[in-house]
Amino acid sequence: MIDFDTWYRTEYPRVVNALTLLTGDQQVSVDAASEAFVRALAKWDRVSRMDSPGGWLYKVALNDARKRFRRSAKDRSTAPALDWTPGVAAPVEPDHHLWNAVAQLPDRTRSVVVLRYVADLTEPAIATALGVKRGTVATTLRRAHQTLADQLGPSYSSERRLFHAIS
């Protein structure tokens, strides 16, 4: 069984960074990540035995972030900002050309790329987090690599180089 404290210390920064890239709002990301970890701790006996505790955690955090955006939009009486445009946060030493290209990807594709290379989730964990099949994740990643390589040119043409630039 995984130790919660160790898991938390390792995963919390990844979750916040990934959510910030997906939502564009660091405060919502911090709040949603914190709430997801509180829920994980409350159910730790069950969560720690899951095939993908990380996938479950991201699913809870993403759902919480969406609720916060809906609530915030309702409070402001404006249309909800649910297009999940990425914000300015990026991994350490970001490749700005790459992340600008990632920002232009469709929502699910961008989510898969961020969850794989920022959150370091496996394909099954990403499938759990997004509520899709593992094959969908693999296909989405393959297409994202191709799209990014096409947009960014020869220097990003190989998956290995692209992976290194993202991670």
Is the per-residue pLDDT at 143 higher than 50?
yes
Confidence of residue 135 (pLDDT cuts 50, 70, 90): very high
Answer for the pair 49, 13: CB distance below 8 angstroms, yes or no. Answer: no
Amino acid at 130: L
130 vs 167, residue with greater confidence: 130
> The domain 4-166 is classified under which CATH number: 1.10.150.120, 3.40.50.12590, 1.20.140.160, 2.60.40.10?
1.20.140.160
Is the per-residue pLDDT at 165 higher than 50?
yes
pLDDT of residue 163: 59
89 vs 16, residue with greater confidence: 16
Is the per-residue pLDDT at 167 higher than 70?
no
Residue from 104, 100, 101, 134 nearest 116 by CA: 134
129 vs 72, residue with greater confidence: 129
Alpha-carbon gap, residue 106 to 47, rounded angstroms: 30
DSSP the chain: ---HHHHHHHHHHHHHHHHHHHHS-HHHHHHHHHHHHHHHHHTHHHHTTSS-HHHHHHHHHHHHHHHHHHHHHHHHTS----S----S---SS--HHHHHHHHTS-HHHHHHHHHHHTS---HHHHHHHHT--HHHHHHHHHHHHHHHHHHH-GGG-SHHHHHHHH-
Q: What ranges do the domains of the chain cover?
A: 4-166
Answer for the pair 81, 69: CB distance below 8 angstroms, yes or no. Answer: yes
108 vs 83, residue with greater confidence: 108
Q: How do residues 49-74 score in pLDDT, each as one tens digit? A: 998 899 999 999 999 998 988 887 65
Q: What mean pLDDT is predicted for residues 99-124?
A: 89
pLDDT of residue 44: 96
Q: Report the predicted TM-score, pTM, of the whole model to 2 decimal places.
A: 0.73
Confidence of residue 88 (pLDDT cuts 50, 70, 90): very low
pLDDT of residue 66: 87
